[in-house]
Amino acid sequence: MYWKRTVDQERSRMVQKGQIGDGPVLYWMSRDQRAHDNWALLYAQERALVLEKPLAVVFCIDLEYPAANLRHFAFLLRGLEELQNTLKNYAIDFHLLQGAPDNILPLFLEKTHPALLVTDFDPLRIKKRWKEKVLEHCSIPAFEVDAHNIVPCWLASNKREYAAYTIRKKIQQQLPRFLTDFPDLQVHPYVSAPASIQPVTVNTLLKQVKDKSVGEVDWLKPGEKAGINLMDDFLTHGLHSYSTDSNNPCLDGQSNLSPYFHFGQLAPQRVAWEVEQSNATRDNKEAYLEELIIRRELADNYCYYADDYDRYSTFPDWAKRSLDEHREDVRPYLADLETLENAGTEDALWNRCQQDLLQNGKLHGYLRMYWAKKILEWSVSPEEAMANALFLNDKYSLDGRDPNGYAGVAWSIGGVHDRAWADRPIFGKIRYMNKNGCKRKFSVTEYIKR
Ligand SMILES: Cc1cc2nc3c(=O)[nH]c(=O)nc-3n(C[C@H](O)[C@H](O)[C@H](O)COP(=O)(O)OP(=O)(O)OC[C@H]3O[C@@H](n4cnc5c(N)ncnc54)[C@H](O)[C@@H]3O)c2cc1C
C-alpha cells in the first residue's frame, strides 16, 4: 500500500527499545484526547501503516486522579464518548480501561501483545511516574510524541527557562519547521478481528465519581467538535479585538479555549495555524500567539524541568530570600482556606472572582493574577498561600491541574518567570497588585454586578 510520511520524526522520541509484538499498534492516549490534529495518533497510524497492522487506542480513566471531581470527569468523559464514535469511523478500536495506568495497562499489554506502543507527552509528575512504571512492564518498542506543544518540549529548550524572554527566541526559531497544518487521519486499512469492546458508558462512570461536590458547567460544551466550533467563533468575533479587549474582564475578550486545550480536545497548533491564516491584524495575531505559544509552552518547560513546580522550593532565589525577609510582617487581614473557598473574605472583588470559579469553573486571566496575589497577602506564609491557591485552582477550574495553572500560581506568589520589583510589606519583591490597579483597567463595580 502507498503511504507518505507526514509526521516530522522530531516530534517523537523512542523511550524504550524492545521486540515488535504481533498485535496492533497501540496508542496509549492520555493528555491529547482527540481524533483529529493529534500528532501522537498520526504517528501511531504511520507506524501501523508501515507494519501493515491494525491501530488501536487505549485510555485509562483513573477516577482517583488527584483533585479531579465531577466537573472535570464529566467534561473528560463526554469528550471520550464523542471520540470513540469518531474513531469507529476510521476503523480504529478504542478501549477504555478503568484504573490508574500503572496498575491496569501492563495487564492489557500482556493480553493484547501490541506491535509497539505510542503515547503522548505530559510534563506533570504523576504522568511521568505512570509512564515510567508502565514502561518497566513493557517489552515492546515505545515512543513518546509531543502532541500538545507546537515545538516539542524537549527541543524547545534543554533546561528550565528563566522567563518568557529567554524561551521566546528558541521557540520562534523553530516555528517555521513545526507550525504547519495537520495531515488528515486516514480510515485505517488494517482491522483487528472484531474485539469485544465495551462502549464508553459515561453515566455509569460518572455515578462512580466520589467527589460530586463541584458540579458540571453548562456554559461550555465538552468534546472535539465543540472545541472547533468555539475556535471558529473566536476567529470570527474575538481575535480582531484580542489585543485591546482580552485584559478587560467586563468584555468577552478571551478565547475561553483553555478547557479544550487542557483536556486535549483541541490542538493548540490547530488554533495557532488558523490564527496565522486569518485576516486579523498583526497586533492581534501577535498578542494571541504570545499567550497561546510562548506563555503556554513556557509553562510546559517549567513543569518538565522543575519537578517541584507546585512547591515553595521552586521559587527563584531572589524571591525566596525576599519572602523570607517578610515572614514576620504583620498581616492586617488573614483568610484561611475555608473563608477563601466560601468566597467570604473582606474584599467584594475577590469574592466575585471566587464565585466565578465556583459557578463557572473559569476566572478571567487578568483576575487570576489578582486572585492569587491576594491569597499571598492574606496567608500566614507563602507556603500556605501556594498550597491554598493551587488547591482552589485545581478543584474548581475546569482547566486546572495543568502546567499553565502551576506556572500561573508560581508566577503570582513566587515570582517564577518574573523579575524583582520594589520591596514592600508581606510581598517583598514579588510583583504587587491591588484593587486600584484593577480599577484603572476595568470597571470593578460592573464586574462585581455581572
Ligand atoms: C493564578 C493563575 C492561575 C492560572 N491557572 C490556569 C489553569 O489552571 N489552567 C490554564 O490553562 N491556565 C491557567 N492560567 C493561565 C491563564 O490565565 C489562562 O490560560 C487563560 O486565562 C485561559 O483562558 P483563555 O483560554 O480564554 O485564554 P486566552 O487569553 O484566550 O489565551 C489563549 C490560550 O493561551 C494560553 N495562555 C493564556 N494566558 C496564559 C498564561 N498566563 N500562561 C500560560 N498560558 C496562557 C492558554 O493556553 C489559553 O487558553 C493561570 C494564570 C494565573 C495567573
- Taking the chain (450 residues) in runs of 10, the rounded mean pLDDT of each run is 76 97 97 98 97 97 95 98 96 95 95 96 98 95 98 98 98 98 97 74 93 96 98 98 96 96 98 98 98 98 98 98 98 98 98 98 98 98 98 98 98 98 98 96 94
137 alpha carbon – ligand 1 mean position (Å):
36
Predicted confidence (pLDDT) per residue in 239-254, tens digit? 999 999 999 999 989 9
401 alpha carbon – ligand 1 mean position (Å):
12
State the pLDDT at residue 195.
65
| 243 ligand 1 Cβ < 6 A | no
Taking the C-alpha atoms of residue 198 and residue 142, their distance in angstroms, rounded to an integer, is 25
| 164 and 303 fall within a common domain | yes
Strands 25-29 and 55-61, bridge-based pairing? parallel
| 368 ligand 1 Cβ < 6 A | yes
On whether residue 200 sits in a domain, the answer given is: no
Is the separation of the CB atoms in 99 and 124 below 8 Å? no
34 alpha carbon – ligand 1 mean position (Å):
20
Predicted confidence (pLDDT) per residue in 213-242, tens digit? 999 999 999 999 999 999 999 999 999 999
- Nearest ligand 1 atom to the CA of 268 is 47
Taking the C-alpha atoms of residue 34 and residue 41, their distance in angstroms, rounded to an integer, is 9
- E strands present in 253-334: none
Is the separation of the CB atoms in 47 and 167 below 8 Å? no
For residue 43, the SS3 value is helix
184 alpha carbon – ligand 1 mean position (Å):
29
On whether residue 42 sits in a domain, the answer given is: yes
β-sheet with 142-145: strand ranges across: 12-16, 142-145, 117-120, 25-29, 55-61, 93-98
State the pLDDT at residue 383.
98
Q: Alpha carbon 327 to chain centroid distance?
A: 33
On whether residue 123 sits in a domain, the answer given is: yes
| 137 and 170 fall within a common domain | no
Q: Among 416, 382, 132, which Cα is nearest to 302's?
A: 416
What is the distance in angstroms between the CA of the first residue and the CA of the last residue of the chain? 59
Taking the C-alpha atoms of residue 287 and residue 280, their distance in angstroms, rounded to an integer, is 11
State the pLDDT at residue 36.
98
pTM listed for this prediction:
0.98
| 369 and 393 fall within a common domain | yes
| 155 and 138 fall within a common domain | no
| 246 ligand 1 Cβ < 6 A | yes
Other CB atoms closer than 10 Å to residue 208's CB: what's the count?
10
State the pLDDT at residue 3.
56
Taking the C-alpha atoms of residue 81 and residue 88, their distance in angstroms, rounded to an integer, is 11
Give the max Cα distance, the chain: 74
Is the separation of the CB atoms in 294 and 173 below 8 Å? no
| 134 and 243 fall within a common domain | no
Helical pair 365-377 and 348-360, crossing angle rounded to 10 deg:
120
For residue 28, the SS3 value is strand
| 72 ligand 1 Cβ < 6 A | no
Strands 142-145 and 12-16, bridge-based pairing? antiparallel
Q: Whose CA is nearest to atom 33 of ligand 1?
A: 292
Count of domains forming the chain: 3
366 alpha carbon – ligand 1 mean position (Å):
9
State the pLDDT at residue 5.
72
| 172 and 296 fall within a common domain | yes
State the pLDDT at residue 448.
96
Residue range of the domain that includes 291: 151-182+223-307
Write the CATH number for 343. 1.10.579.10
| 58 and 164 fall within a common domain | no
Taking the C-alpha atoms of residue 85 and residue 267, their distance in angstroms, rounded to an integer, is 19
| 400 ligand 1 Cβ < 6 A | yes
| 272 and 158 fall within a common domain | yes
Final residue before a domain boundary, out of 257, 284, 307: 307
370 alpha carbon – ligand 1 mean position (Å):
14
| 138 and 5 fall within a common domain | yes
| 301 ligand 1 Cβ < 6 A | no
- E strands present in 89-201: 93-98, 117-120, 142-145
Taking the C-alpha atoms of residue 410 and residue 386, their distance in angstroms, rounded to an integer, is 7
| 289 and 359 fall within a common domain | no
388 alpha carbon – ligand 1 mean position (Å):
19
For residue 143, the SS3 value is strand
Is the separation of the CB atoms in 84 and 200 below 8 Å? yes
State the pLDDT at residue 26.
98
State the pLDDT at residue 193.
75
State the pLDDT at residue 120.
98
| 158 and 299 fall within a common domain | yes
